[in-house]
């Protein structure tokens, strides 16, 4: 699976203001809603349920909030680089500045794991995350992720 299979350049934003984790998840749910035709409150509810199981803040300043929905047939992503890092209850205790929302099909385990593994691998790569953080705009962020 490639980044372009679930993340479009139009769904990448740089220097997004976020005050806290819950507000950020709400904003992501609203932004995703129109693309996947699922009500934002339903998306937020599922994201919150997933966070209750354990933070999706995977460390290194990165969070990968995700949820499954039977209404979608392929993974959908939104990536934000935050203006200022926020507390995300990450596993390493460090604040998060790069967030990739993934909405995944309920039934296709391969695609789910493929999308999650793909973005996690990319954002764990020191050169890629450095390029994401150094990018001047959302287009450069997307290029850093989609290359390779």
Catalytic residues: 66
Neighbouring C-alpha atoms within 13 Å toward the C-beta of 75? 28
Q: Scanning the structure block, which residue is given the tokens 């794991």?
A: 113
Distance in angstroms (rounded) separating the CA atoms of residues 119 and 103: 13
Radius of gyration of the chain (CA): 14
Is 98:129 a contact under the CB 8 Å cutoff?
yes
């Amino acid at each position: 699976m490639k980044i372009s299979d679930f993340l479009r350049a139009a769904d990448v934003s740089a220097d997004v203001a976020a005050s806290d984790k819950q507000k950020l998840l709400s904003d992501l749910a609203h932004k995703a809603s129109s693309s996947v035709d699922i009500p934002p409150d339903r998306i937020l509810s599922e994201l919150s349920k997933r966070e209750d199981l354990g933070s999706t803040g995977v460390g290194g300043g990165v969070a990968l909030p995700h949820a499954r929905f039977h209404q979608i047939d392929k993974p959908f992503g939104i990536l934000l680089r935050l203006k200022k890092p926020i507390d995300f209850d990450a596993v390493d205790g460090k604040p998060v500045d790069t967030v990739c929302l993934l909405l995944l099909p309920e039934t296709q385990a391969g695609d789910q794991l493929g999308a999650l593994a793909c973005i996690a691998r990319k954002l764990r790569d020191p050169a890629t995350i450095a390029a994401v953080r150094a990018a001047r705009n959302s287009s450069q962020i997307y290029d850093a992720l989609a290359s390779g």
